[in-house]
Chain A
């Protein structure tokens, strides 16, 4: 079992829907990450939050909107997604920016 918890595990949504992915950790980690992973590919970094502030945005389209309400929670708000956005979305956390990242099990997202 991972110590980074992601919900939901699976999500199917239409292109006009609005939904949110949630990530939670209680390890006291101060850096949290969102990744997108396509089948048979490595994870691709989307966003990094450090001490609840957005520190890296890897030129992600605005239809993906991250939010870090507190040091334990990370959300990814989704709106008007495209079929090519179907993927596994992984959350990760680390104690600080130089410590290893620990991943959750991801949300499998399918866009109809």
Chain B
């Protein structure tokens, strides 16, 4: 049973470009979460989605960031007009239900030049 998959693993963008991060949950999991980890810090919750629905986006910055989890395909975290402060590791997690253990993907390390 494949774990949570994320791609790309590493992403380099110049300021002002767009970053698209993809997450495929574990088989049988319909709940997806995105977290951001700044260097030397813990993870910070960004958004929680189920198929075609955003359940909680209280941790998402109000501008430039968006997330979706379509009926078919992976969940996408999109960052428009990236700035240097967006450089971080972005982790996706999935769970079979909303109050169950979250399993984390390998992360996407975004570097903004």
Mutual binders A and B:
no
Residues of chain A having any CB pair with chain B under 8 Å: none
